[in-house]
Structure 1
Amino acid sequence: MKWALSELNKFRDGQLDFSETIDLSDSLKIRDHSILNVEPITVDGFLQVNREGYLAHYVAKTVITMPSSRSLEPVEIPMALSVDEEYMTQRQYDAITDLSEDEKNLIIVLEKDLIDLSESIEDFILLNLPMQVLTEDEKQSTDYPKGDFWTVVSEDELKKEREIEATTTIDPRLAKLSELFNEDGE
Protein backbone atom coordinates (compact mmCIF):
# COMPACT_ATOMS: atom_id res chain seq x y z
CA MET A 1 0.00 0.00 0.00
CA LYS A 2 2.55 2.51 -1.19
CA TRP A 3 2.09 5.52 -3.42
CA ALA A 4 4.71 7.86 -4.80
CA LEU A 5 3.87 11.53 -4.31
CA SER A 6 4.30 12.15 -8.03
CA GLU A 7 1.57 9.56 -8.66
CA LEU A 8 -0.69 11.09 -6.00
CA ASN A 9 -0.23 14.62 -7.34
CA LYS A 10 -2.20 13.56 -10.43
CA PHE A 11 -5.25 13.56 -8.12
CA ARG A 12 -4.67 17.12 -6.86
CA ASP A 13 -7.86 18.66 -5.43
CA GLY A 14 -9.44 15.22 -5.60
CA GLN A 15 -9.02 11.86 -4.03
CA LEU A 16 -7.73 8.40 -4.76
CA ASP A 17 -10.06 5.64 -3.55
CA PHE A 18 -8.55 2.28 -2.67
CA SER A 19 -9.71 -1.13 -1.50
CA GLU A 20 -7.06 -3.77 -0.90
CA THR A 21 -6.33 -6.89 1.11
CA ILE A 22 -2.83 -7.12 2.54
CA ASP A 23 -0.94 -9.62 4.66
CA LEU A 24 1.12 -8.09 7.48
CA SER A 25 1.17 -11.22 9.64
CA ASP A 26 4.94 -11.75 9.64
CA SER A 27 5.89 -8.17 10.48
CA LEU A 28 3.21 -7.90 13.21
CA LYS A 29 4.42 -11.16 14.80
CA ILE A 30 7.97 -9.79 14.83
CA ARG A 31 6.89 -6.53 16.44
CA ASP A 32 4.67 -8.22 19.08
CA HIS A 33 5.59 -11.76 20.06
CA SER A 34 2.25 -12.40 21.77
CA ILE A 35 0.44 -12.38 18.40
CA LEU A 36 -0.16 -15.95 17.23
CA ASN A 37 -1.86 -15.21 13.90
CA VAL A 38 -3.20 -12.32 11.82
CA GLU A 39 -5.73 -12.93 9.06
CA PRO A 40 -5.32 -10.89 5.86
CA ILE A 41 -6.30 -7.27 6.47
CA THR A 42 -8.94 -5.63 4.29
CA VAL A 43 -8.36 -1.91 3.90
CA ASP A 44 -10.93 0.44 2.35
CA GLY A 45 -10.43 4.18 2.17
CA PHE A 46 -9.17 7.16 0.25
CA LEU A 47 -6.24 9.56 -0.02
CA GLN A 48 -7.30 13.17 -0.47
CA VAL A 49 -4.72 15.29 -2.24
CA ASN A 50 -4.53 19.09 -2.03
CA ARG A 51 -1.93 21.84 -1.98
CA GLU A 52 -1.56 21.70 1.81
CA GLY A 53 -0.90 17.96 2.08
CA TYR A 54 -2.31 14.45 1.88
CA LEU A 55 -5.18 13.21 4.05
CA ALA A 56 -5.56 9.45 4.44
CA HIS A 57 -8.78 7.95 5.73
CA TYR A 58 -9.23 4.19 5.86
CA VAL A 59 -10.94 1.36 7.71
CA ALA A 60 -8.83 -1.74 8.38
CA LYS A 61 -10.54 -5.01 9.32
CA THR A 62 -8.90 -8.23 10.46
CA VAL A 63 -8.98 -10.99 13.05
CA ILE A 64 -5.99 -11.41 15.34
CA THR A 65 -5.30 -14.54 17.39
CA MET A 66 -3.63 -14.02 20.77
CA PRO A 67 -3.19 -16.23 23.83
CA SER A 68 -5.65 -15.91 26.70
CA SER A 69 -4.31 -13.92 29.64
CA ARG A 70 -5.33 -16.72 32.02
CA SER A 71 -5.00 -20.05 30.24
CA LEU A 72 -2.87 -19.21 27.17
CA GLU A 73 -5.54 -20.77 24.92
CA PRO A 74 -5.74 -19.07 21.49
CA VAL A 75 -8.45 -16.40 21.28
CA GLU A 76 -9.61 -14.74 18.05
CA ILE A 77 -10.09 -10.98 18.36
CA PRO A 78 -11.95 -9.20 15.53
CA MET A 79 -10.68 -5.68 14.85
CA ALA A 80 -12.14 -2.84 12.79
CA LEU A 81 -10.08 0.35 12.96
CA SER A 82 -11.05 3.69 11.47
CA VAL A 83 -7.97 5.84 10.91
CA ASP A 84 -7.39 9.43 9.77
CA GLU A 85 -3.86 10.68 9.20
CA GLU A 86 -2.43 13.79 7.60
CA TYR A 87 0.85 13.67 5.69
CA MET A 88 2.98 16.57 4.45
CA THR A 89 6.31 17.07 2.82
CA GLN A 90 8.87 19.07 4.79
CA ARG A 91 8.25 22.08 2.52
CA GLN A 92 4.48 21.93 3.11
CA TYR A 93 5.02 21.55 6.85
CA ASP A 94 7.37 24.55 7.01
CA ALA A 95 4.77 26.69 5.17
CA ILE A 96 2.13 26.18 7.90
CA THR A 97 1.44 29.35 9.85
CA ASP A 98 -2.13 29.00 11.14
CA LEU A 99 -1.84 25.86 13.33
CA SER A 100 -0.88 25.58 16.99
CA GLU A 101 2.11 23.47 18.06
CA ASP A 102 -0.24 20.70 19.30
CA GLU A 103 -2.00 20.55 15.92
CA LYS A 104 1.33 20.53 14.10
CA ASN A 105 2.46 17.53 16.18
CA LEU A 106 -0.38 15.45 14.71
CA ILE A 107 0.95 15.86 11.16
CA ILE A 108 3.28 13.20 9.78
CA VAL A 109 6.19 14.73 7.90
CA LEU A 110 7.28 12.50 5.02
CA GLU A 111 10.97 11.62 4.92
CA LYS A 112 10.69 10.20 1.38
CA ASP A 113 8.47 11.12 -1.56
CA LEU A 114 6.33 8.12 -0.65
CA ILE A 115 3.26 7.36 1.47
CA ASP A 116 3.27 3.84 2.91
CA LEU A 117 0.04 3.00 4.72
CA SER A 118 1.32 -0.46 5.71
CA GLU A 119 3.34 1.10 8.53
CA SER A 120 0.33 3.07 9.68
CA ILE A 121 -1.90 -0.02 9.65
CA GLU A 122 0.64 -2.00 11.68
CA ASP A 123 1.02 0.80 14.23
CA PHE A 124 -2.73 1.20 14.73
CA ILE A 125 -3.27 -2.55 15.10
CA LEU A 126 -0.52 -2.77 17.73
CA LEU A 127 -1.88 0.28 19.57
CA ASN A 128 -5.34 -1.28 19.72
CA LEU A 129 -4.41 -4.74 20.97
CA PRO A 130 -6.31 -5.50 24.17
CA MET A 131 -4.39 -5.70 27.45
CA GLN A 132 -6.55 -8.58 28.71
CA VAL A 133 -7.59 -11.43 26.42
CA LEU A 134 -10.10 -14.00 27.66
CA THR A 135 -11.92 -16.92 26.06
CA GLU A 136 -15.72 -16.86 26.20
CA ASP A 137 -15.70 -19.46 29.00
CA GLU A 138 -13.23 -17.39 31.02
CA LYS A 139 -15.39 -14.28 30.64
CA GLN A 140 -18.40 -16.15 32.07
CA SER A 141 -16.52 -18.02 34.82
CA THR A 142 -15.47 -16.65 38.18
CA ASP A 143 -12.91 -19.45 38.67
CA TYR A 144 -9.31 -18.31 38.49
CA PRO A 145 -6.25 -20.47 37.88
CA LYS A 146 -4.47 -21.94 40.89
CA GLY A 147 -1.55 -24.17 41.64
CA ASP A 148 -0.01 -26.00 44.58
CA PHE A 149 1.11 -22.94 46.50
CA TRP A 150 -0.55 -20.08 44.64
CA THR A 151 -3.95 -18.76 43.53
CA VAL A 152 -5.12 -15.93 41.35
CA VAL A 153 -7.73 -13.76 43.06
CA SER A 154 -9.70 -10.74 41.90
CA GLU A 155 -8.97 -7.32 43.37
CA ASP A 156 -12.32 -7.38 45.20
CA GLU A 157 -11.51 -10.73 46.83
CA LEU A 158 -8.07 -9.49 47.84
CA LYS A 159 -9.56 -6.37 49.39
CA LYS A 160 -12.08 -8.45 51.39
CA GLU A 161 -9.32 -10.81 52.60
CA ARG A 162 -7.21 -7.87 53.77
CA GLU A 163 -10.16 -6.34 55.63
CA ILE A 164 -10.86 -9.65 57.39
CA GLU A 165 -7.19 -10.05 58.30
CA ALA A 166 -7.07 -6.50 59.68
CA THR A 167 -10.02 -7.11 62.00
CA THR A 168 -8.98 -10.59 63.23
CA THR A 169 -5.24 -10.01 63.62
CA ILE A 170 -4.18 -9.12 67.14
CA ASP A 171 -1.38 -6.68 67.57
CA PRO A 172 1.62 -8.78 68.74
CA ARG A 173 2.36 -6.21 71.48
CA LEU A 174 -1.07 -6.88 72.97
CA ALA A 175 -1.09 -10.67 72.51
CA LYS A 176 0.25 -11.32 76.03
CA LEU A 177 -2.50 -9.13 77.51
CA SER A 178 -5.20 -11.21 75.81
CA GLU A 179 -3.68 -14.39 77.29
CA LEU A 180 -3.67 -12.80 80.74
CA PHE A 181 -7.33 -11.88 80.42
CA ASN A 182 -8.27 -15.45 79.38
CA GLU A 183 -6.45 -16.94 82.45
CA ASP A 184 -8.17 -14.58 84.93
CA GLY A 185 -11.61 -15.18 83.38
CA GLU A 186 -11.41 -18.96 83.95
Structure 2
Amino acid sequence: MKWSLLELRKYQHEPLQFETTLDLKEELLSREECLMDISPIDVKGMLTVNKEDYLLHYVMVYNMTLPSSRSLVPVLVEQEITVDEVFMTQEMWEKNSIDEADESILLIEGQTISLDESVADNILLEIPLKVLSAEEQAATVFPSGNEWELISEEEYKEQQRQKEKTKDNSAFSQLADFFEDEES
Protein backbone atom coordinates (compact mmCIF):
# COMPACT_ATOMS: atom_id res chain seq x y z
CA MET A 1 0.00 0.00 0.00
CA LYS A 2 1.46 3.35 -1.08
CA TRP A 3 0.21 6.89 -0.92
CA SER A 4 1.36 9.62 -3.27
CA LEU A 5 2.15 12.98 -1.72
CA LEU A 6 -0.30 14.64 -4.12
CA GLU A 7 -3.08 12.30 -2.97
CA LEU A 8 -2.27 13.05 0.68
CA ARG A 9 -2.88 16.80 0.25
CA LYS A 10 -6.62 16.23 0.51
CA TYR A 11 -6.10 14.84 4.05
CA GLN A 12 -4.61 18.02 5.54
CA HIS A 13 -7.70 18.68 7.66
CA GLU A 14 -8.40 15.15 8.87
CA PRO A 15 -6.19 12.05 9.20
CA LEU A 16 -6.27 9.28 6.63
CA GLN A 17 -7.59 6.17 8.44
CA PHE A 18 -6.59 2.76 7.12
CA GLU A 19 -7.02 -0.90 7.98
CA THR A 20 -5.49 -3.61 5.84
CA THR A 21 -3.86 -7.03 5.79
CA LEU A 22 -0.45 -7.27 4.15
CA ASP A 23 1.21 -10.42 2.88
CA LEU A 24 4.94 -9.69 3.03
CA LYS A 25 6.09 -13.26 3.64
CA GLU A 26 8.25 -13.60 0.51
CA GLU A 27 10.00 -10.25 1.03
CA LEU A 28 10.65 -10.82 4.75
CA LEU A 29 11.93 -14.38 4.28
CA SER A 30 14.37 -13.14 1.63
CA ARG A 31 15.61 -10.32 3.89
CA GLU A 32 16.04 -12.32 7.12
CA GLU A 33 17.42 -15.85 7.09
CA CYS A 34 16.46 -16.74 10.68
CA LEU A 35 12.78 -16.07 9.95
CA MET A 36 11.12 -19.40 9.17
CA ASP A 37 7.54 -18.26 8.50
CA ILE A 38 5.26 -15.25 9.01
CA SER A 39 1.50 -14.87 8.87
CA PRO A 40 -0.28 -12.09 6.99
CA ILE A 41 0.09 -8.84 8.95
CA ASP A 42 -3.03 -7.02 10.17
CA VAL A 43 -2.35 -3.28 10.15
CA LYS A 44 -4.64 -0.55 11.49
CA GLY A 45 -3.71 3.09 11.81
CA MET A 46 -3.73 6.60 10.44
CA LEU A 47 -1.59 9.01 8.47
CA THR A 48 -1.70 12.66 9.53
CA VAL A 49 -0.63 15.32 7.04
CA ASN A 50 0.87 18.52 8.49
CA LYS A 51 2.66 21.45 6.88
CA GLU A 52 5.94 20.37 8.52
CA ASP A 53 5.73 16.57 8.23
CA TYR A 54 3.71 13.39 7.72
CA LEU A 55 2.94 11.35 10.85
CA LEU A 56 2.34 7.64 10.37
CA HIS A 57 0.87 5.78 13.35
CA TYR A 58 -0.24 2.15 13.20
CA VAL A 59 -0.55 -1.09 15.15
CA MET A 60 0.41 -4.35 13.49
CA VAL A 61 -0.48 -7.85 14.67
CA TYR A 62 1.13 -10.99 13.27
CA ASN A 63 2.64 -14.38 14.10
CA MET A 64 6.10 -15.46 13.07
CA THR A 65 8.02 -18.71 13.40
CA LEU A 66 11.60 -18.40 14.61
CA PRO A 67 14.16 -20.99 15.69
CA SER A 68 14.64 -21.37 19.43
CA SER A 69 17.79 -19.59 20.51
CA ARG A 70 18.65 -22.63 22.63
CA SER A 71 17.69 -25.69 20.58
CA LEU A 72 16.74 -24.34 17.10
CA VAL A 73 13.27 -25.91 17.43
CA PRO A 74 10.65 -23.83 15.54
CA VAL A 75 8.75 -21.52 17.92
CA LEU A 76 5.60 -19.54 17.09
CA VAL A 77 5.98 -15.95 18.33
CA GLU A 78 2.92 -13.69 18.52
CA GLN A 79 3.66 -10.00 18.04
CA GLU A 80 1.65 -6.80 18.44
CA ILE A 81 3.70 -3.71 17.73
CA THR A 82 2.80 -0.02 17.75
CA VAL A 83 4.76 2.13 15.31
CA ASP A 84 5.05 5.91 15.10
CA GLU A 85 7.11 7.38 12.26
CA VAL A 86 7.69 10.93 11.08
CA PHE A 87 8.30 11.48 7.36
CA MET A 88 9.56 14.65 5.66
CA THR A 89 10.34 15.67 2.12
CA GLN A 90 13.73 17.22 1.39
CA GLU A 91 12.07 20.65 1.20
CA MET A 92 10.42 20.22 4.62
CA TRP A 93 13.74 19.07 6.05
CA GLU A 94 15.60 22.13 4.78
CA LYS A 95 12.79 24.54 5.70
CA ASN A 96 12.70 23.35 9.33
CA SER A 97 16.53 23.19 9.55
CA ILE A 98 16.47 19.80 11.24
CA ASP A 99 19.76 18.45 12.60
CA GLU A 100 21.04 15.67 10.32
CA ALA A 101 21.78 13.51 13.34
CA ASP A 102 18.06 13.29 14.14
CA GLU A 103 17.41 9.66 13.21
CA SER A 104 13.77 9.72 14.23
CA ILE A 105 12.77 11.51 11.02
CA LEU A 106 12.60 9.55 7.78
CA LEU A 107 13.34 11.36 4.54
CA ILE A 108 10.87 10.60 1.74
CA GLU A 109 12.64 9.36 -1.37
CA GLY A 110 10.47 9.95 -4.42
CA GLN A 111 6.86 11.08 -4.20
CA THR A 112 5.27 8.27 -2.17
CA ILE A 113 5.03 6.93 1.37
CA SER A 114 4.99 3.14 1.41
CA LEU A 115 3.21 1.32 4.24
CA ASP A 116 4.64 -2.02 3.04
CA GLU A 117 8.23 -0.80 3.44
CA SER A 118 7.53 0.67 6.85
CA VAL A 119 5.85 -2.52 8.10
CA ALA A 120 8.59 -4.80 6.73
CA ASP A 121 11.39 -2.68 8.22
CA ASN A 122 9.72 -2.51 11.63
CA ILE A 123 9.04 -6.25 11.72
CA LEU A 124 12.72 -6.93 11.06
CA LEU A 125 13.72 -4.47 13.77
CA GLU A 126 11.44 -6.19 16.29
CA ILE A 127 12.66 -9.77 15.84
CA PRO A 128 13.43 -10.95 19.38
CA LEU A 129 16.94 -12.16 20.17
CA LYS A 130 15.84 -14.63 22.83
CA VAL A 131 13.26 -17.13 21.60
CA LEU A 132 12.40 -20.16 23.74
CA SER A 133 9.78 -22.87 23.34
CA ALA A 134 7.26 -23.39 26.14
CA GLU A 135 9.20 -26.47 27.34
CA GLU A 136 12.48 -24.53 27.41
CA GLN A 137 10.89 -21.70 29.40
CA ALA A 138 9.49 -24.14 31.96
CA ALA A 139 12.66 -26.23 32.24
CA THR A 140 14.82 -25.91 35.34
CA VAL A 141 17.63 -28.04 33.92
CA PHE A 142 19.69 -26.48 31.15
CA PRO A 143 21.12 -28.45 28.23
CA SER A 144 24.66 -29.78 28.36
CA GLY A 145 26.99 -31.79 26.20
CA ASN A 146 30.47 -33.27 26.00
CA GLU A 147 32.66 -30.95 28.12
CA TRP A 148 30.14 -28.08 28.11
CA GLU A 149 26.98 -27.02 29.91
CA LEU A 150 24.63 -24.08 29.86
CA ILE A 151 24.29 -22.40 33.26
CA SER A 152 22.31 -19.47 34.60
CA GLU A 153 23.95 -16.18 35.49
CA GLU A 154 23.38 -16.87 39.18
CA GLU A 155 25.16 -20.23 38.90
CA TYR A 156 28.06 -18.55 37.12
CA LYS A 157 28.44 -15.94 39.86
CA GLU A 158 28.34 -18.67 42.52
CA GLN A 159 31.05 -20.62 40.67
CA GLN A 160 33.21 -17.49 40.59
CA ARG A 161 32.75 -16.99 44.34
CA GLN A 162 33.72 -20.62 44.99
CA LYS A 163 36.87 -20.23 42.86
CA GLU A 164 37.88 -17.17 44.89
CA LYS A 165 37.37 -19.04 48.17
CA THR A 166 39.43 -22.05 47.08
CA LYS A 167 42.10 -19.79 45.66
CA ASP A 168 42.56 -18.01 48.98
CA ASN A 169 42.47 -21.21 51.06
CA SER A 170 45.18 -23.11 49.20
CA ALA A 171 48.45 -23.92 50.95
CA PHE A 172 50.41 -21.79 48.54
CA SER A 173 48.23 -18.69 48.99
CA GLN A 174 50.07 -18.00 52.27
CA LEU A 175 53.35 -17.81 50.36
CA ALA A 176 51.99 -15.16 47.98
CA ASP A 177 53.11 -12.34 50.26
CA PHE A 178 56.47 -13.95 51.16
CA PHE A 179 58.52 -12.32 48.40
CA GLU A 180 56.81 -8.94 48.77
CA ASP A 181 58.32 -8.56 52.26
CA GLU A 182 61.87 -9.13 50.96
CA GLU A 183 61.49 -6.55 48.14
CA SER A 184 60.52 -3.76 50.52
Secondary structure of the structure 2 residue equivalent to 1:14: coil
**Residue of structure 1 in register with 2:160 after alignment:** 162
Instruction: Decide which of 140, 143, 149 is 1:142's aligned counterpart.
Output: 140
**Residue of structure 2 in register with 1:46 after alignment:** 46
User: TM (normalized to structure 1)?
Assistant: 0.83
Distance 1:92 1:169, change over 3 A: closer
Distance 1:102 1:113, change over 3 A: closer
CA distance in 2, matches of 1:70, 1:140: 13
CA distance in 2, matches of 1:63, 1:31: 17
In structure 2, runs of 5+ residues without a counterpart are 176-184
1:56-75 residue pairs with structure 2 within 5 A?
Answer: 56-75=56-75
**Residue 35 (structure 1) shift:** 0.9
Q: Does 1:27 align with 2:27?
A: yes
Distance 1:161 1:45, change over 3 A: same
Q: Percent identity?
A: 38
Asked if structure 2 preserves the Cα contact closer than 8 Å seen for 1:13 and 1:51, the reply is no
What amino acid sits opposite 2:31 in the alignment?
Answer: R
1:114-153 residue pairs with structure 2 within 5 A?
Answer: 114-153=112-151
User: TM (normalized to structure 2)?
Assistant: 0.84
**Residue of structure 2 in register with 1:183 after alignment:** none
Q: Does 1:95 align with 2:91?
A: no
Over the aligned positions, Cα root-mean-square deviation in angstroms equals: 2.4
CA distance in 1, matches of 2:47, 2:170: 72
Asked if structure 2 preserves the Cα contact closer than 8 Å seen for 1:88 and 1:107, the reply is yes
CA distance in 2, matches of 1:105, 1:162: 42
Q: What are the Cα deviations for residues 143-171 of structure 1, in whole angstroms up to 9, with x where unaligned?
A: 11111222111121122122223322478
Asked if structure 2 preserves the Cα contact closer than 8 Å seen for 1:25 and 1:39, the reply is yes
Distance 1:169 1:9, change over 3 A: same
Asked if structure 2 preserves the Cα contact closer than 8 Å seen for 1:14 and 1:50, the reply is no
Name the count of aligned residue pairs: 175
Q: What are the Cα deviations for residues 71-106 of structure 1, in whole angstroms up to 9, with x where unaligned?
A: 111111111111111112111221115x6x389542
Distance 1:170 1:85, change over 3 A: closer
CA distance in 1, matches of 2:166, 2:101: 57
Secondary structure of the structure 1 residue equivalent to 2:87: strand
**Residue of structure 2 in register with 1:15 after alignment:** 15
**Residue of structure 2 in register with 1:182 after alignment:** none
CA distance in 2, matches of 1:27, 1:171: 61
